[in-house]
Amino acid sequence: MIPVSAYAAQNPTSPLAPYHFERRELRPHDVLVDILFSGVCHSDLHQARNEWNDSIYPMVPGHEIVGKVTGLGSDAKKFKIGDIAGIGVMTDSCRQCKPCRDYMEQYCVEGMTGTYNGYERDKTTMAQGGYSTQIVCDERWVYRIADTLHLPGVAPLLCAGITTYSPLRYANVKPGDKVAVAGLGGLGHMAVKFAVAMGAEVTLLSTSSSKEADAKRLGAHYFVLSTDAAAMKKLESHFDVVLDAVSGNHDYELYLKLLGLQGKMLVVGLPGEDPKLSPFALIKNRRCIIGSMIGGTVETQEMLDFCASHNITSDVEVIPIQYINEAYERVLRKDVKYRFVIDMESLK
Ligand code: NAP
Ligand code: ZN
Ligand code: ZN
């Protein structure tokens, strides 16, 4: 077994604190990764604080992982020692069902194996995430990273990146499309970058007037305060796509009404409260609501290659692990530009 240092949540209310556990010995197709950087996703907060009512403790959060390959199983072929590699929100799946055979493992009929807050496929080993010094993962769920990219800025691509890239691709966003992104946080700022790179005309819908200049710097063509009822009214039936990356409880209809004929609302944000929705707002313009969960292994590699060719990374604030509880408070105050990333050197 491989001893690992980490930070863990022990219950929904205590601050995260130092924790030690062991990773499994390498299986033939496993890769051992020394973690360099680990992004802080709002899903880490939701789960550390049991906001989805499914938390298992002790919990080591973290599913935006970039590191260096330091060990290989006997049959692992994808990497060599010293390569830079990434790991995201899942680390395994049944590998047999139709979605798994189609490399959409996040929709595995038996359920994917999450990087943390669950169990490995043996149903007994707790899966623990990236706020830790090392991780072991089957090579199928470990991604190649171009070493030309700014590595702290790569970590968030493994969740915030793929979670926004996948639905924008599914909606076939193309030059000339009008796309709105709701919520300028970790996911939202990646959605803006991707939609702009795909050639869309992008509007950022935010509750924070302080983010207007950043939205434009990130490439958004327009910025609208979503609390400004008159401005939102003017945008009714205007967009082809609205991507909802909002973490807190909110009015879904406010965004749905912005869709024009056959427009698509892409829901990726996961607040704890269920939405209320009028069917009248849905039938008008034959609107469509599409949920989307991260992305499969092939699409994740495609997204990372897209980022390398378009020089896209996340805008990050690098922190030591000891700052994690303060960082969580700032995420809740919407005070993040636009992803906290933990430098794992601080734990070594
Ligand atoms: P984040 O960095 O905290 O950003 C969320 C942003 O949403 C905030 O900065 C804020 O932007 C806006 N917001 C927050 N509360 C709001 C409210 N009550 N009403 C309106 N706007 C509000 O979060 P994130 O890491 O990007 O994650 C966003 C959501 O996606 C989370 O719920 C997370 O769990 C979920 N998620 C889903 C998947 C998936 O596979 N579907 C994957 C990863 C994360 P403004 O200041 O601009 O208003
Ligand atoms: Zn995430
Ligand atoms: Zn499966």
State mean pLDDT over 137-147: 96
CB 265 within 8 A of CB 259: yes
- Please check the confidence at residue 147 and state whether its pLDDT lies above 90: no
Q: Looking at this protein, which amino acid is placed at residue 338?
A: Y
Residue 285: what pLDDT? 98
Q: How far is the CA of 189 from the centre of ligand 1 (A)?
A: 10
Q: Where are the alpha helices (H) located in 218-270, listed in sequence order?
A: 229-234, 252-256
User: Whose alpha carbon is nearest atom 15 of ligand 1?
Assistant: 248
Average pLDDT, the chain: 97
- Please check the confidence at residue 348 and state whether its pLDDT lies above 90: no
State how far the alpha carbon of 144 is from the alpha carbons of 80, 215, 319, in Å: 11, 29, 24
Residue 207's nearest CA partner among 172, 163, 254 is 254
- Please check the confidence at residue 25 and state whether its pLDDT lies above 90: yes
Q: How far is the CA of 249 from the centre of ligand 1 (A)?
A: 10
State the Cα–Cα distance between residues 179 and 168, nearest whole angstrom. Answer: 9
Residue 44: what pLDDT? 98
State mean pLDDT over 112-122: 98
Provide the pLDDT confidence category of residue 235 given band limits of 50, 70 and 90.
very high
pTM for the model: 0.98
**Beta-carbon neighbours within 5 Å of ion ligand 2:** 41, 43, 159
Q: How far is the CA of 101 from the centre of ligand 1 (A)?
A: 31
- Please check the confidence at residue 338 and state whether its pLDDT lies above 90: yes
Residues 6+ apart with CB under 8 A from 240: 171, 173, 177, 178, 179, 259, 260, 263, 264
* Cα distance from N-terminal residue to C-terminal residue, the chain: 18
pLDDT tens digits along 267-323: 999 998 888 999 999 999 999 999 999 999 999 999 999 999 999 999 999 999 999
Q: How far is the CA of 187 from the centre of ligand 1 (A)?
A: 7
Q: How far is the CA of 297 from the centre of ligand 3 (A)?
A: 13
The two three-digit tokens of residue 12, written as one number? 């929904």
Ligand 1 probe mutation, 247, 292, 293, most atoms within 8 A of CB: 247
Three-state DSSP class for 336? coil
State how far the alpha carbon of 75 is from the alpha carbons of 81, 178, 245, in Å: 14, 47, 39
Residue 191: what pLDDT? 98
The residue written with tokens 């990130």 in the block is 218
Ligand 1 pocket, CB under 6 A: 41-43, 46, 159-160, 163, 183-188, 206-208, 211, 245-250, 268-271, 292-294, 331, 334, 336
The closest-lying atom of ligand 1 relative to the alpha carbon of residue 270 is 32
- Please check the confidence at residue 148 and state whether its pLDDT lies above 90: no
State how far the alpha carbon of 257 is from the alpha carbons of 7, 171, 261, 270, in Å: 42, 18, 11, 20
Provide the pLDDT confidence category of residue 197 given band limits of 50, 70 and 90.
very high
Residue 325: what pLDDT? 98
User: Whose alpha carbon is nearest atom 1 of ligand 1?
Assistant: 185
Residue 265's nearest CA partner among 330, 205, 196 is 205
User: Whose alpha carbon is nearest atom 31 of ligand 1?
Assistant: 247
